[in-house]
Amino acid sequence: MEEYHRISEIIESKRQLLINISDEIWRYAELKFQEFKSAELLCKTLEKEEFSVQRGAAGIKTAFVASYGKGKPVIAILGEYDALDGLSQEGGVTEEKSIIPGGSGHGCGHNLLGTGALGAAIALRYCIRENNLPGTIRYYGCPAEEGGCGKVFMTREGLFNDVDCALSWHPDTGNYVGTNSCLALYNVYFKFKGKSSHAAMVPHLGRSALDAVELMNVGVNYLREHIIPEARIHYAITNAGGSAPNIVQAEAEDYFSIRAPKISQARGIYERACDVAKGAALMTGTKVEISIDSALSNFVPNKTLEMLIYKSFSKLGTPEYSENDRQLAKKFRTSLSEDNKKSDIHVLTVKELRDKDISEIVNPFNDNEKTLPVSTDVGDVSWIVPTGMFNTACAGFGTPIHSWIFVAQGNTSIAHKGMLQAGKVIALTAVELFKNPEIIQNAKRELKERLGGETYSCPIPKKNQ
């Protein structure tokens, strides 16, 4: 039996188990570093499938590494399972309707991501045993992709140092493989401390932290003219120092998000923003405390792996959708604004998808080497080990991620089918890597060439834990 038939057979035999796990994680909707139930559910399932599981990986309570097999090569499968705040939403309904007002929800589909990766790991366990394949498959349970950068801490602690290749995927509205990069990111707090005083009686005795915040914001806005046009800087005043105008504000705080195509560029802009903050403090007679909340590196694509993924995806094809699936996608699509309907990149770039509600084809391989305007902590893994990524359709066209409508589709048949297909693609790709170690060596050579002599430097200092 050809590998792809056997892999499909194994994952289909686990279909209901995987759907149940995905839907349970969807219901848990746990936020970054709080994914205790989700992580434990995955750990227990992997243990039942004969994986050895190390909980608390990298000192993070909700991170884990599960292993099966022995020796080289070591293939990593990356799993995520954290949700987003404020996106509580009933499943399968086409109107915004929260389960818990203000609660959390899986607006990025990580319930699917982690479970699809689980399906791949289980299928590979069978393939390794049945074919006596040399090597080790590892499922990395990676918490806090949303704002916590769990993989950055795991990378910093050396958890990927002996890995030969890593594979990951993401829920989307289309079936897509390409050599794209993602933006590097710094999220930073600037906390200013001054001295309060009565603003009318003794203003000269005060030192306004709010003045420092405002001066910093002005300074960074002038800085925008002198950074690369591809960079992005966003900020919020997270503490304005109170609501009484007749008291000089003793404390105030800014929160900045800095993105750029390369981590060296983002780091340079971050350092210049720090100088602006220090200048604002000097001008106002205040002090500034700078702390990195989270940071991550740009994703380094690997065409060698992504072409292999595309070959696997093309061989497996897309799931078979029922008429009920198509009608459900159409109903969700009616909930979207016209701008959302027209802006879906898959519809815009693939003529066969125009006037469709859901993708039933694998997009042509994209070799444009674009930098997508998003960030992911998979980027840090990709600096250490050749890493391949792809997307599968888990929602109707035009559905924006990080939205209630994505959450609403996250426990439907459409999402389940995309999730299971992703597991099959990862498993088939990994089998090819086990059987053809020369592909791994080619992928490693490509990574070395792409880095061009640069070495990995973790963007989060060791003191940030």
- 290 & 302 share domain: no
Instruction: Of 213-217, 345-349, 435-439, give the lowest mean pLDDT range.
Output: 345-349
In the DSSP assignment, the letter for residue 351 is G
198-246 pLDDT per residue, tens:
999 999 999 999 999 999 999 999 999 999 999 999 999 999 999 999 9
Shared domain for 168 and 189, answered yes or no, is: no
CATH number at residue 70: 3.40.630.10
Do 78 and 376 meet the contact criterion of CB atoms below 8 Å apart? no
Q: Which of the listed residues 247, 262, 296 is the one where a domain comes to its end? A: 296
pLDDT at 222: 97
174 and 150 assigned to the same domain:
yes
Residue 461, in any domain of the structure: no
Using CA of residue 116, residue 119, residue 120, residue 121, what is the dihedral sign? positive
pLDDT at 225: 95
pLDDT at 45 over 80: yes
* Max Cα-Cα span within the chain: 87
- Give the domain-ending residue among 263, 296, 329: 296
Q: How far apart are CA 458 and CA 155, in angstroms?
A: 8
Domain co-membership, 346 together with 443:
yes
- Does 141 lie in the same domain as 8? yes
- Give me the chain's average pLDDT, please: 95
In a domain, 214, yes or no: yes
94 with 115, same domain: the answer is: yes
Residues 320 and 396 in one domain: yes
Domain closes at, from 296, 318, 339: 296
Does any domain span residue 463? Answer: no
pLDDT 10s digits, 120-149: 999 999 999 999 999 999 999 999 999 999
Strand 64-70: give its sheet, edge to edge: 52-55, 64-70, 135-142, 74-80, 165-172, 387-393
Q: Are both 398 and 288 inside the same structural domain?
A: no
In whole angstroms, what is the distance from residue 311 CA to residue 98 CA? 40
Task: Name 48's Cβ contacts closer than 8 Å, sequence gap at least 6.
Answer: none
Q: How confident is the model at residue 464 (pLDDT cuts 50, 70, 90)?
A: low
**pLDDT range class, residue 58, cuts 50, 70, 90:** very high
According to the model, what pLDDT value does residue 343 have? 77
- Residues 301-308, mean pLDDT to the nearest whole number: 98
The alpha carbons of the chain give a radius of gyration, in whole angstroms, of 24
CA 23 – CA 111 distance, rounded (Å): 7
Question: Is residue 462 assigned to a domain?
Answer: no
CATH number for the domain spanning 206: value is 3.30.70.360
| 449-461 tens-digit pLDDT | 999 999 999 999 8
Instruction: Name the pLDDT band for 293 (thresholds 50, 70, 90).
Output: very high
Domain with 228 in it:
184-296
Q: Where are the beta strands (DSSP E) in 306-455?
A: 371-372, 387-393
The rounded percent of the chain whose pLDDT value lies above 70 is 99
Predicted local distance difference test score (pLDDT) of residue 4: 81
- Number of Cβ within 10 Å of residue 43's Cβ equals 18
Claim to verify: residue 9 and residue 103 sit in the same structural domain: yes
CB atoms within 10 A of CB 162: 12
Does residue 457 belong to any structural domain of this protein? no
Task: For residues 362 and 434, state if they share a domain.
Answer: yes
Task: Assess whether 231 and 364 both reside in one domain.
Answer: no
Co-location of 331 and 391 in the same domain = yes
How far apart CA 98 and CA 417 sit, in angstroms, is 24
Beta strands in 338-454 (DSSP E): 371-372, 387-393
* N-terminal to C-terminal alpha carbon distance within the chain: 48
Does any domain span residue 445? yes
d(CA 417, CA 413): 6
Number of domains in the chain: 2
* Cα–Cα distance, 83 to 143 (Å, whole number): 10
Domain assignment present for 459? no
Residue 191 lies in a domain: yes
